[in-house]
Amino acid sequence: MGKIALVTDDDLARSRADPQFRHRLVADNLELLLDELKRLRKGKIDAQCTKQIREGVDLAVQLAEILQRIEGSAGRTGRSDA
């Protein structure tokens, strides 16, 4: 992976209290994951690579669902995370 964004304990604590930060943190990590999946697809695909792509896609779906929940909860409270 070229660009790695490590999430610190401070980031996690802030994300619990700040919905906009949580949204940005999840969205940024989803973007990094999708970029890596694109890179993997362009290379030689063997059984290990196929497994990694499958796991990455599952994780991307989970992150997308988290983003939808964050956006949904912001809509219910009248706040915008965009």
pLDDT tens for residues 16-73? 999 899 999 999 989 999 998 998 888 888 998 899 999 999 999 999 999 999 888 7
- The CA–CA distances, whole Å, from 43 to 11, 33, 48, 60, 78 equal 33, 16, 12, 20, 45
Where do the domains of the chain lie? 9-76
Claim: this prediction has a pTM higher than 0.85: no
The reported pLDDT for the residue numbered 76 is: 62
Report the b/e string of 63-72 with b at 16+ CB within 10 A: beebbeebee
